[in-house]
Amino acid sequence: MAQIEFLEVAKRYANGHVALQNLNLQIRDKEFLVLLGPSGCGKSTTLNMIAGLEEVTEGSLRFDSTAVNGLPAHKRDVAMVFQSYALYPHKSVYENIAFGLRMRKHPKNEIDTRVRSAARDLEIEHLLDRLPGQLSGGQRQRVALGRAMVRQPAVFLMDEPLSNLDATLRISMRASIKALHQSMQTTFVYVTHDQAEALTLADRIVVMRQGVVQQIGTPDDIYERPANTFVANFLGNPPINFIDGVVQDDGSEPCFRSGELSLAFDEQLRAELAGCAGKKVTIGIRAEDIDEDATYADCQLTGEITSLLPVGSDQFIGLQNGGRVMFFRVGKERSYRVGDRLSVSVNPRRMHIFDQASGVNLRANAS
């Protein structure tokens, strides 16, 4: 059980590279926190700092209010699962799982009980005598999980643990990890660049970019109220559509205008954007936030269908409007053809509006 706190933490390498800047983050006890971002954003560095594998250059890192900056990895009560599994190739599955307990000098019979119980839970009991080289990717992943589980650590760290698995296995392992968190009742910190993993697993997500936290929030917060264009763009499949333009206010009906395109604001948007007349903005429309029946008459997008991408349950269409192609997710029931002209409307409530210069979300309820 542990609460982890980063206070003004920075990480600079000897070559001058800054991996992390001014990180302030509180990870609650028993929380499942996901660090999400593209490669090089500092998420793995943050995880390694918690593990004690990277030194903190500046600021303070605390476990339950005690600073642990100088505490080496082997003295912290953390367990970690790695992307490459990092199983010891010369040790059997049993010895791999038992190793952490042996290093901490647990009694032999207790080690045996814990190893066998974890192996049973992970359905790898029949593999205990094998060497890692004789296992499949999924089995290795389970051994790596078992090795961390038996330790019953205060903090459970995972560094892209599912990246090397195939798509089907990844989804079933996601469910296993979620169940593991519920049964272990301990703090989980999970690093990934996969938005689907983050959205499924997390209690809260921290989105990072180039060593700077972009947004911290629940999966809903992050998806529905992205703090800036980076966060909005990073989550969503297909990605959110951006249109650059200005807030036009001729006195009566403020709206968004970009060339020929005009999207009217509803009352709530008008209130939120009061005083923004003339401001250069970028609006973001998520692929699923359009209405094929063109319900919102003042908020219409018309264009030619340039591509159709069926994805099983529904389909993505590419719609060319004013020189740009936007992608939307539509139902399978209607059949479209490439070259058709289509009018869709956008629910103004679902529009994200960002300042064009800073990328910050201008809607007042954005976190």
Q: Which of residues 126-155 bind other proteins (CB under 8 A)?
A: 147, 151
Q: Which is nearer to other proteins, 142 or 151 (by Cβ)? A: 151
Nearest distance, CB of residue 73 and other proteins, angstroms: 4
Cβ contacts of residue 288 below 8 Å, gap of 6+?
328, 329
**Eight-state DSSP code of residue 362:** -
Q: Say if CB 215 and CB 222 are below 8 A apart.
A: yes
Of 82, 242, 316, 336, the residue at the interface with other proteins (CB under 8 A) is: 82
**CA–CA separation, 320 and 302 (whole Å):** 8
In whole angstroms, give the CA distance from residue 138 to residue 173.
9
Total residues interacting with other proteins, rule: CB under 8 A = 28
Q: Taking CB under 8 A as the rule, which mask of x and - marks residues 156-185 in contact with other proteins?
A: -x----------------------------
CB pairs under 8 A, 24+ apart, for 103-111?
103/74, 104/151, 111/150
In the complex, the smallest distance separating the C-beta of residue 91 from other proteins, rounded to whole angstroms, is 9
- Is residue 343 within 8 Å of residue 356, measured between CB atoms? no
Q: Among 72, 137, 259, 310, which residue interacts with other proteins (rule: CB under 8 A)?
A: 72
CB of 90 to other proteins, least distance (A): 5
Helical segments of the chain, H only: 43-51, 93-103, 108-121, 137-149, 167-184, 195-201, 219-224, 229-234, 267-272
Alpha helices in 161-319 (DSSP H): 167-184, 195-201, 219-224, 229-234, 267-272
For the bound state, the minimum distance from the C-beta of residue 95 to other proteins, rounded and expressed in Å, comes to 11
- Smallest distance from other proteins to CB 125, Å: 21
How does DSSP classify residue 241?
Answer: E
The smaller minimum CB distance to other proteins, of residues 145 and 243, is found at 145
Binding mask 89-108 for other proteins (x = CB under 8 A): xx--------xx--xx----
In this chain, which of 8, 24, 26, 88 binds other proteins, going by CB under 8 A? 88
Residue 53 in contact with other proteins, rule: CB under 8 A: yes
Footprint of other proteins (CB under 8 A): 13-14, 48, 51-53, 72-74, 76, 78-80, 82-84, 86-90, 99-100, 103-104, 147, 151, 157
